[in-house]
Amino acid sequence: MKSLFRPMLVIFAVLTALTGLAYPAVMTAFGQAVFHDKANGSLIEHDGKVAGSRLIGQQFDAPQYFWGRLSATTPMPYDAKGSSGSNLGPINPALADETKGRLAALQAAGHLPAGVAVPVDLVTSSGSGLDPEISPAAAAYQVERVAAARQMNANDVAALVDRYTSRRQFGLFGEARVNVLELNLALDEVQHG
């Protein structure tokens, strides 16, 4: 039995060094060298300070900003520790109340385009509750409100939305989308820059 302890301890030490130290160190170095931005959280810096991440949404509810998707995280919106969907089904009254509340907020903010249906991503939460992006249709729906609140030309705001719209990857994969934080920071830069 004693003759087995030494080989077992050596194997344990070697595997611990390989899988617990060497492999993580190599992967960390590789990530920093090749995917530096992603490995560090895809952070967005503005005026020398971290404003947020490209991967996690933020709460915007002032009329002069574009609003993102609703967040289902608790106790506060866009809390990465509480990432989850609401799991509310289409006939659940709580989902209907959430949707009605967001519709009321949009109407209260004013300047809604006439005859245009509200894009679904403006009144529902995402599966993770952290979605940082909205559809181009959701952004276009808000252009008049944002332009009026900022006293800007609506065409200039729409051009900014177009500039910050990410197209489908390779023209095939995913959907076109607009990162709300990047767009709002660009609006601030244009107006105050």
**Tens-place pLDDT, residues 141-183:** 999 999 999 999 999 999 999 999 999 888 788 899 999 999 9
Q: What is the model's pLDDT at position 142? A: 94
Neighbours of 75 (CB within 10 A): 7
What is the predicted pLDDT for the residue at 4?
81
Please tell me the distance from the alpha carbon of residue 174 to that of residue 10, in angstroms, as a whole number.
Answer: 49
- Neighbouring-strand partners of residue 44: 52
Structure confidence at residue 135 (pLDDT): 93
Dump pLDDT digits (tens) for 64-89. Answer: 999 998 887 777 888 878 777 667 77
Most confident of 15-19, 43-47, 69-73, 104-108: 15-19
Q: What is the mean pLDDT of the chain?
A: 86
Q: Which of 86-100, 112-126, 131-145, 179-193 ranks highest by mean pLDDT?
A: 131-145
Measured between alpha carbons, how far is 59 from 130 in angstroms, rounded to an integer? Answer: 10
**pLDDT over 70 at 1, yes or no:** no
DSSP for 24-76 reads HHHHHHHHHHHSHHHHTT-EEEETTEEEEETTB-----STTS----B---SSS
Q: List all residues 6 or more positions away from 118 whose beta carbon is below 8 Å from its beta carbon.
A: 103, 106, 141
Q: For residue 167, give the 3-state DSSP assignment.
A: coil
What predicted TM-score, i.e. pTM, was given to this entire model? 0.78
Look at residue 193 in the predicted model and tell me its pLDDT. 62
- HSE value, Cβ hemisphere, 13 Å, CA-based, for 160: 26
